[in-house]
Amino acid sequence: MIPRSARGRMAVDRTIKVLSTFFSLLALVALGWILFAVLARGMGAINLQFFTKLPTPPGMAGGGLGNAILGTGIITAIATILGVPIGLLGGVYLAEFGADSRLATATRFTSNVLMGTPSIIIGVFVYTILVLPRGQFSGYAGAVALSIIMLPVIARTTEDMLALVPNALRESALALGAPRWKVTLGVVFRAARNGLVTGALLAVARVSGETAPLLFTALNSPFWPESIMRPMPNLTVTIFNYAMSPFADWKAMAWGASLLIMAAVLVLAVGSRIVFRQKST
């Protein structure tokens, strides 16, 4: 066997190193480009009125998206109230009781599939069960759609986080005579608190930027939200409608709303990382 020349091999090695460095920086460039574009184009729309006023017809100065900001807050809050407790309890079953039972295995598998189901399909599903029978779009249907997206995410992270809690902790608490539910909620939950908060924050971050599941559930509205049983204004669908409109001032508003959503999602995502890191120290 003739040994290949070292120079050729080194050259190939160096080329690959340069390529992989270049390509991994490409992702950073894309991120930077997106952040910069949203910041540069969105800043102009942000002022006090943006947070407090109703939208105006195209061409009319002033106005804001106060109603959509409030609506997005309401929808996300209701989704969190619905999704987090059910997800937590489902995760408790997977980690504490289910183990390898048939129900637990099926739930794990279904959660994975549900997590990968396109959010627009979840929107169609909620449309068929909540909007079609009543004949009316509603903020509450939007919240249910978002909570369905949160549910499997929270259940699986809860399971993972509870699995990290050492068994000795459970055994000791049980040995003291505490019932199982109290052990879980009082001891295991407390030990896994940071992880659980991280999971919930990540799930909220994920749904607060969602548009597709709201398109035909919450719809949108140019008025202040009055009832959760009626169409509810929200930022993401407003961005979609305004961006597709031919009016320059509406497009500017859409950029402002994009900046707001982007900032909220990034704060939640980075915040959850900080919470999680506290655990390890």
Partner 1 sequence: MSTALDKLVAVVRGGGKVSETTPPTGRADVAFRWLTAACALLVILIMAGMVVELFYNSRLSLKEFGFGFLWSTDWNPVLQKFGAASSIYGTLVSTILAMVIAMPLGVLTALFLVELAPPGISKVVGAGVELLAAVPSIIFGMWGLFVFAPFMADHVQPFLQQWLGFLPLFRGAPLGIGMLPAGIILALMILPFITAVSRDVFAMVPSVVKESGYGMGSTTWEVTRKVTLRHGIRGIIGAGFLGLGRAIGETMAITFVIGNSHQLSASLFEPGNSIASTLANEFTEASEPMYLSALIELGLVLFFMTVIAQMIAHFWLNRVRRQMGDGL
Residues 123-142 that bind partner 1 (CB under 8 A): 124-125, 127-129, 132
Q: Which of 64, 142, 199, 209 forms a contact with partner 1 (CB under 8 A)?
A: 209
Instruction: Give the 3-state secondary structure of residue 123.
Output: helix
Q: Which of 41, 53, 230, 279 forms a contact with partner 1 (CB under 8 A)?
A: 41
- 241 interacts with partner 1 by CB under 8 A: no
Q: In the structure encoding, which two tokens stand for residue 113, read together?
A: 């599939």
- 43 interacts with partner 1 by CB under 8 A: no
CB 152, CB 114: distance < 8 Å: yes
Distance (Å, whole) CA 218 – CA 237? 9
Q: How far is the CB of 69 from partner 1 (least distance, A)?
A: 15
Rg (Cα) of the chain, in Å, rounded? Answer: 24
For 277, other C-beta atoms within 10 Å of its C-beta total: 11
- 173 interacts with partner 1 by CB under 8 A: yes
Q: Which of 74, 75, 96, 140 forms a contact with partner 1 (CB under 8 A)?
A: 96
Distance (Å, whole) CA 261 – CA 206? 11
Q: Which of 67, 72, 76, 111 forms a contact with partner 1 (CB under 8 A)?
A: 111
Give the x-and-dash track for 17-36 against partner 1 (CB under 8 A): x-xxx-xxxxxx-xx-xx--
Q: How far is the CB of 49 from partner 1 (least distance, A)?
A: 21
Distance (Å, whole) CA 179 – CA 273? 33
